[in-house]
Amino acid sequence: MSTPPTVLVMHEAPHDRSVEELWTAIESHDERIDLRRARSYAETERQIPEAEIVVTRALDDDLLEAATELEWVQALNAGVDHYNLDRMRDRDIILTNASGVHTIPAAEQVLGTMLLFERNLLEGIRRHQRREWRHFSGGELHGSTVGVIGVGEIGGGIADRASAFGMETLGLRRNPERGHDSVDEMFGPDELDALLARSKYVVLSCPLTEDTRGLLDARAFESMRSDAVVVNVARGEVVDEDALVTALRGGEIGGAALDVQATEPLPEDSPLWTLSNVLVTPHMAGSSPKYLDRCADIFLSNYERYRHGEYDAFENRVL
């Protein structure tokens, strides 16, 4: 491949970062790349017909249709539910994702969330706001049990940190025979109820698929401990939110930390805003000052493989 392929950095960067930052993160590593950037949807529409490669966090059907020269999409997210996989597969377009770039921040956020609930710090914050000096007690993560649903890159990072804190770690994945060094016991999909019954912390770090949509429903909440805390850093649709609200209000479970919701932004009239045993964050668990540099590293390593025709060696290849 003699002529460098045209690479378009599209108009949106994740986690409130700028296209300029992403463009610089790539360009500073290799100035020989024919690297272009779009600062708006209109600029993307104008430039995408010439792009052989795009770097983006989403690609709608109109842009995909206009991208007549497109050969490879480097996604800036781990989940690929924002891409028309069937149409991309029909056109033999390569898709790689950013799996792994979220592992450290997301795993640290989950650990911080578990500490927040275990040490009863939500109550501490409320008393601080009321200027109320009155004793309250906290628990210990050491010796408690966490169930990680989805032991991929992020789930494995969560298990590593939970194990370091002396927690019993349970994991659930499609193929339970694939173990993990930090998971004490691995479960298969048909053993979900058993994992839920034993876990004080139920952490969702699985992809959104037809099998996982609505995975935590009313029946699942009935299987949980009354002090269980649901921590969701996966996708909002993995949880039946109406059933979750019912379980929280009725004391069936102890609390929830939701970095993702079924509708984002979370509507102002959602009862999740007012429940005292809920922490809502705006889909930011994967954010990090190192996020774009990590994305650039994945792109650059794959770019070299693309230039040499080593398509089967791509990192994080989805299609």
> pLDDT, tens digit, for every residue of 245-304?
999 999 999 999 999 999 999 999 999 999 999 999 999 999 999 999 999 999 999 999
Residue type (1 letter), 229: V
**What pLDDT score does 22 carry?**
84
- In percent, the amount of the chain with pLDDT more than 70 equals 99
pTM of the model: 0.90
| Averaged pLDDT score across all residues of the chain | 95
Q: How far apart (Å, rounded) are the C-alpha atoms in residues 142 and 277?
A: 22
Burial class (CB in 10 A: 0-12, 13-18, 19+), 111: buried
Instruction: Provide the pLDDT for residue 1.
Output: 54
Q: Over 80: is that where the pLDDT of 14 sits? A: no
Return the pLDDT at 3.
Answer: 85
Active-site residue (options: 11, 118, 235, 241): 235
| pLDDT of 121 higher than 90 | yes
Is pLDDT at 16 greater than 70 in this prediction? Answer: yes
| CB 73, CB 88: distance < 8 Å | yes
What burial letters (b/e) apply to 253-291, b meaning 16+ CB within 10 Å? bbbbbbbbbbeeebeeebebeebebbbebebbbbbbeeb
Domains of the chain with CATH codes: 6-99+288-313 (3.40.50.720), 103-280 (3.40.50.720)
The residue whose two tokens read 């989940």 is 79
Joined tokens for residue 2: 């003699």
Lowest mean pLDDT across 23-37, 103-117, 267-281: 23-37
Residue 29 above 80 pLDDT? Answer: no
Query: Per-residue pLDDT tens for 33-58?
Result: 999 999 999 999 999 999 999 999 99
Check residue 30 and give its pLDDT: 72
Q: Would you call the peptide bond into 189 cis, given omega within 30 degrees of 0 as the criterion?
A: no
What is the 3-class SS of 159-181, one letter each residue? HHHHHHCCCEEEEECCCCCCCCC
Which is catalytic among the residues 20, 65, 264, 310? Answer: 264
* Tokens 């460098």 found at: 4
Catalytic: 235? yes
Q: Per-residue confidence at 220, pLDDT binned at 50, 70, 90?
A: very high
> Which residue is catalytic, options 15, 161, 198, 283?
283
What pLDDT, in 10s, does the model give residues 59-94? 999 999 999 999 999 999 888 888 999 999 999 999
Whether 134 is catalytic is no
Secondary structure class of 128 (helix, strand, coil) = helix
